[in-house]
C-alpha cells in the first residue's frame, strides 16, 4: 500500500486504503453515477466552458493541449468503462 501511495506522490488525500486496494470497484461506482455517454458529454461541456470563459482567446498551443487532454480523457473513460465490464463479478 505504501508503494502505491508513494507512486501517487501522496496526493489523493481523500482516498482510503480500502479505496486504493479496490480501485476497480471505485471505477465501477463512477460509471454508476455517470454513465459513459454522460461522462463524455460532461467532459466536452467542461472543455467548451473553458474555451468560452478564457479572458483572451486561448493561444494555439494552449487550445491544442486542452483539446488533446480532453480527447485523452475520453479515451481513458472508454478504457476504464471496458475494464469495469471485463472484470469478473465477485
In a domain, 5, yes or no: no
| pLDDT surpassing 90 at residue 36 | yes
The Cα–Cα gap between 36 and 28 comes to 11
Query: What is the distance, to the nearest Å, from the Cα of residue 45 to the centroid of all Cα atoms in its chain?
Result: 14
Q: For residue 63, what pLDDT is reported?
A: 81
Q: Number of structural domains, the chain?
A: 1
Tell me if 10 is assigned to some domain: no
**Domain-located, residue 9:** no
pLDDT of residue 12: 57
Q: Torsion angle of alpha carbons 24, 28, 33, 36, nearest 10°?
A: 110
The verdict on residue 6 lying in a domain is no
pLDDT in tens, 47-89: 888 888 876 666 778 888 888 888 889 988 888 888 888 877 6
Q: Are 44 and 70 in contact (CB under 8 A)?
A: yes
Residue 50 lies in a domain: yes
**Is 58 domain-assigned?**
yes
* Residue range of the domain that includes 64: 23-86
- pLDDT over threshold 90, residue 38: yes
Amino acid at each position: 500500500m505504501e508503494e502505491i501511495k508513494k507512486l501517487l506522490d501522496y496526493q489523493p488525500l481523500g482516498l482510503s486504503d480500502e479505496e486504493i486496494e479496490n480501485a476497480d470497484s471505485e471505477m465501477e461506482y463512477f460509471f454508476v453515477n455517470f454513465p459513459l455517454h454522460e461522462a463524455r458529454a460532461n467532459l466536452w461541456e467542461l472543455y467548451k466552458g473553458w474555451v468560452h470563459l478564457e479572458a483572451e482567446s486561448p493561444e494555439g498551443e494552449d487550445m491544442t493541449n486542452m483539446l488533446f487532454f480532453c480527447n485523452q480523457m475520453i479515451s481513458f473513460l472508454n478504457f476504464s468503462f471496458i475494464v469495469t465490464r471485463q472484470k469478473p463479478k465477485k
